[in-house]
Structure 1
Amino acid sequence: MTLLLPLATACVWLGMVVAISIEAPLKFRAPGITRALGLGIGQLVFRALNRAEIVLALVTAVAFAFGDRPVAATVLLVALVVTLAVQVFAIRPKLEARAEQIIAGSEPPRSRAHLGYIALEGLKVAMLVAFAVTAAP
């Protein structure tokens, strides 16, 4: 069976991650957007993105399971799912808690969680590109 469906879902996933990664810092430069408002918007956007990513990861994995599975693509897909899980279940809750404090008017100490999330986003983009190249028929 062909790998066109997992390839297509991975490319949609890649497009969403890249688009939101471009949007995220830009919203803070828009006229009238305060830090608290930008963080509130960011929370909504990243929750939606992560939900869509989970669906795309599941569809990609299920479709991939029924096709010819190159070893490299299999390893990349597993690494993508693990990366997404770390972002969603380990890092994003820390970011959301910090954002809530800022939205409420306090200034929590600096956190490296944001840098970790950004690094994993970059890694995820690279892995999605590599997956697409590896899985392409």
Structure 2
Amino acid sequence: MTTADLAQRFLDALTTRDIEQVMPLWHDDGVMEFPYVPEGSPSTFEGADAIRTTLASAFVQRKTMEFLDVRAYQAADPDLAFVEFNGKMTLQSGAPYNNTYIAKVVARGGKLLHFKEFFNPLVDLAAGNPREAENR
């Protein structure tokens, strides 16, 4: 499986909102990074336990998660891929949360090692910063 395929599997697993389907895709030393989170929100989660905690919290904060128009690009380096996608979600409040994303994905041994996600932080702020709420 290519890193681009692994990234697609990760996005597909996120739609289930089931942490037990998501975590087997992650390396124990994995890192999730969100460089553009609004002020007051953590931006980096290191290690499987931190990733599990933040994703489980995100699943509680979102009633639905769907990723559309996924375009994954495998780099010449077999452990590197880039992914563009749109997210369509419903927050627990019932408010919609739709954003566009680009992610740099690094794998090791067929598992996600680093997922660096870029998104429009103004959409986060307009939605009441759901990332801040999930990390309280």
With the length of structure 1 as denominator, give the TM-score of the two structures.
0.30
Structure number, greater radius of gyration? 1
Work out which structure has the larger RCO, using CA pairs closer than 8 Å and 6 or more positions apart in sequence: 1
Question: Relative to total residues, which structure has the larger strand share, 1 or 2?
Answer: 2
With the length of structure 2 as denominator, give the TM-score of the two structures.
0.30
Question: Relative to total residues, which structure has the larger helix share, 1 or 2?
Answer: 1
